[in-house]
């Protein structure tokens, strides 16, 4: 939340303060320009407005802007963790301009971007866009660290070899990721028989939803399946439509806010989180509360990670 305008009124304002009448800097948390310094930031928000392989309800290209806009209203302090993750610096890149010649090209673009962020020793926070962009991020992370695994939260298994003529679409993301490093899937409640057989034959751990046991046991089991370095990918349709209806392909019976955040908190406490993404928000398909929920979720994870940096 930007308080520089108020602060400016208490002391003799500079001409710059007088001219600064707006609040909307279009940065995550509305970070004002003087605090928005790439070199000083541990988190880098990477907005990727791409949704061209979406097969049902498109519109996730509008999600990065909607999430960043909603983040203006978040408190910097998080009462659950007792910390203010913004102290570690959050830099928001300009929206990536997707190469519209095909999803494979977009994967390459994302990969190059994330590679740079990791080379600069920062944590990428990818805001989609459709799930396809995750493949690019995982490519970069797998290149950057040893012993990487992916925690993949999604209502859908996304294990199709190809879908609607492309191997790089949103329905094949977990399949492509599983070719790069081990993957652990949580929250699945929509899967084809072919995908199911594939997951069994390849021993891909899938924690279906509902889990049929308490969160503590489940979270421990999920952590036990992950390696030391973890990339987290969150398709927002993993959440129940009662809290997240603004997604392209909603599925009933999903995770509650507390189930989702308790798992993420546990993973951040026990593993080295290399980066994460939040994808598949389609802001125009649901109430504006969904954009706020997505923004809060992104900032929650930053808090869980930063708690380990204290």
User: Which range of residues in 134-142, 192-200, 201-209, 234-242 is near Mn ion by CB under 5 A?
Assistant: 234-242
Residue of closest CB approach to Mn ion: 156
Q: CA 233 to CA 249: how far, in whole Å? A: 17
Q: Tell me the closest approach of the beta carbon of residue 279 to Mn ion, in angstroms.
A: 9
For 93-107, what is the HEC assignment?
A: CCCCCCCCCCHHHHH
Task: From 2-10, 132-140, 153-161, 301-309, give the range in contact with Mn ion by CB under 5 A.
Answer: 153-161
Q: DSSP H helical segments within 130-214, as ranges? A: 133-144, 173-178, 193-201
* Of residues 296, 277, 269, the one with CA closest to residue 29: 296
Calculate the CA 262 to chain-centre distance: 16
78 vs 235, beta carbon nearer Mn ion = 235
Q: What are phi and psi of 184, to 5 degrees?
A: -125, 120
In angstroms, the CA 192 to CA 309 distance is 41
306 in Cβ contact with 88 (< 8 Å) = yes
30 sits near Mn ion (criterion: CB under 5 A): no
Determine which residue in the list 195, 235, 240, 259 makes contact with Mn ion, applying CB under 5 A. 235
Tell me how far, at minimum, the Cβ of 173 lies from Mn ion, in Å: 9
Q: Are 285 and 57 in contact (CB under 8 A)?
A: yes
Quick one: which segment of 44-52, 120-128, 230-238, 302-310 binds Mn ion (CB under 5 A)? Answer: 230-238
The site string for Mn ion over 237-266 (x = CB under 5 A, - otherwise) reads x-----------------------------
Query: Based on CB atoms, which residue is closest to Mn ion, 286 or 303?
Result: 286
Cβ at position 237, least distance to Mn ion in Å: 4
Count the site residues for Mn ion by CB under 5 A.
4
Nearest distance, CB of residue 249 and Mn ion, angstroms: 6
How many Cα atoms are found within 13 Å in the side-chain-facing hemisphere of 227?
A: 14
d(CA 121, CA 55): 36
Tokens coding 246 = 């603004």
Cα–Cα distances in Å, from 196 out to 58, 141, 188, 206, 210? 26, 27, 11, 9, 17
Beta bridge partners of 153: 186, 234
Q: Which of 154, 195, 240, 277 binds Mn ion (CB under 5 A)?
A: 154
DSSP 141: H
CB of 156 to Mn ion, least distance (A): 4
14 vs 192, which CB is nearer to Mn ion?
192
Which one, 52 or 272, has the nearer CB to Mn ion?
Answer: 52
Which member of 36, 122, 156, 296 binds Mn ion (CB under 5 A)? 156
CB of 157 to Mn ion, least distance (A): 9
State the nearest-atom distance from the C-beta of 248 to Mn ion, in Å.
8
- Minimum Å gap between C-beta 187 and Mn ion is 9
Contact residues for Mn ion, defined by CB under 5 A: 154, 156, 235, 237
């Amino acid at each position: 939340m930007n308080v520089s305008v108020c602060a400016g009124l208490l002391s003799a304002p500079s001409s710059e303060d007088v001219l600064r009448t707006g609040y909307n800097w279009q940065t995550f948390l509305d970070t004002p320009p003087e605090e928005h310094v790439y070199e000083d930031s541990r988190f880098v928000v990477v907005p990727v407005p791409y949704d061209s392989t979406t097969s049902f309800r498109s519109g996730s290209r509008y999600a990065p802007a909607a999430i960043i806009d909603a983040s203006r209203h978040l408190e910097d302090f998080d009462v659950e963790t007792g910390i203010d993750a913004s102290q570690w610096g959050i830099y928001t890149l300009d929206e990536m301009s997707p190469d519209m010649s095909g999803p494979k090209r977009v994967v390459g673009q994302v990969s190059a971007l994330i590679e740079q962020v990791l080379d600069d020793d920062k944590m990428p926070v990818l805001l989609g866009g459709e799930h396809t962009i995750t493949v690019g991020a995982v490519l970069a992370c797998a290149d950057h660290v040893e012993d990487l695994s992916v925690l993949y939260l999604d209502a859908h298994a996304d294990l199709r070899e190809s879908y609607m003529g492309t191997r790089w679409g949103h329905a094949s993301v977990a399949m492509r990721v599983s070719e790069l490093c081990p993957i652990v899937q949580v929250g699945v409640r929509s899967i084809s028989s072919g995908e199911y057989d594939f997951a069994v034959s390849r021993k891909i751990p899938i924690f279906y939803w509902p889990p049929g046991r308490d969160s503590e046991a489940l979270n421990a089991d999920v952590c036990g399946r992950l390696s030391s370095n973890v990339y987290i990918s969150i398709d927002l349709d993993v959440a129940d439509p009662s809290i997240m209806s603004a997604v392209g392909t909603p599925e009933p019976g999903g995770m509650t806010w507390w189930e989702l955040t308790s798992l993420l908190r546990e993973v951040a406490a026990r593993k080295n989180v290399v980066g994460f993404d939040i994808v598949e928000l389609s802001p125009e398909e649901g109430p504006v509360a969904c954009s706020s929920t997505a923004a809060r979720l992104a900032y929650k994870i930053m808090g869980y990670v930063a708690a380990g940096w204290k």
